[in-house]
Amino acid sequence: MNHQAIFKSFSQLTDIPELEWHYLKSKIKWHSVRKGDLLVQAGEVSDRIYFCHSGVFRMFYLKEDGDEFNKSFVQEGQFFTSYSSVISSIPSYFAIQALENAVVASFTYKVLLQLYERHHCWEVVGRKLIEQLYIKKETRERQLLLHSAEERYHLFLEEFPGLEDRITQYHIASYLGISPVSLSRIRGQLSCKSLI
């Protein structure tokens, strides 16, 4: 498997000595995930960090009444996991599901802790990755608190370029916190505006 995309993502954050990279590479496992399969189940303790090599994933909450809320999406080139579950060893509050056939790389949290001990560069990588996750989460909070459904739709298009054509309207609506009918209305209004 081609590890280059992973190395590129890490080395954008800080310099990774060759020896360190070889160590991590020896610990990476590759998985094929079929469309619809769950990579992480809600209620299960997750212990792996994933990198999306190809495909699309959704992270979603399932309410007791069966309603789903998509909390986020993952596309190629991104690290992802149920972070709280991994670092606190608690059951994941949400599930991660492939929305396309996908290929992911992964390594365990135990390996990540070993990396932190081995070399300073991994602490930098760990801190910067979690900073990026934090900023995303703050953005999401702001969207939920402050923005209208139409504004949230525009922000979705900006944040996940190209994703609109890869996933169903149901999943976009579930991310925006609106019904598919409301989403259809918003898209209809936008089409009309673009024709004027």
The residues that touch a copy of itself, with contacts defined as CB under 8 A, are 61, 63, 69, 71, 83-84, 87-88, 93, 116, 120, 123-124, 126-127, 130-131, 133-135, 137-142, 144-146, 177
Is the CB of 124 or the CB of 190 nearer to a copy of itself?
124
CB of 88 to a copy of itself, least distance (A): 7
Is the CB of 78 or the CB of 101 nearer to a copy of itself?
78
CB of 178 to a copy of itself, least distance (A): 13
Is the CB of 177 or the CB of 188 nearer to a copy of itself?
177
CB of 182 to a copy of itself, least distance (A): 17
Is the CB of 42 or the CB of 103 nearer to a copy of itself?
42
Kindly give, in sequence order, each residue whose CB lies less than 8 Å from that of residue 111, ignoring residues fewer than 6 positions away: 24, 27
How far is 111 from 49, CA to CA, in rounded Å?
10
Q: Hey, is 187 helix, strand or coil?
A: helix
8 Å CB contact between 49 and 27: no
Whose CA is closest to 95, among 59, 140, 125?
A: 59
Instruction: Please give the C-alpha separations between residue 63 and each of 40, 67, 68, 134, 177, in angstroms, as whole numbers.
Output: 16, 5, 6, 24, 13
8 Å CB contact between 49 and 96: no
Is the CB of 87 or the CB of 103 nearer to a copy of itself?
87
CB of 133 to a copy of itself, least distance (A): 6
CB of 96 to a copy of itself, least distance (A): 14
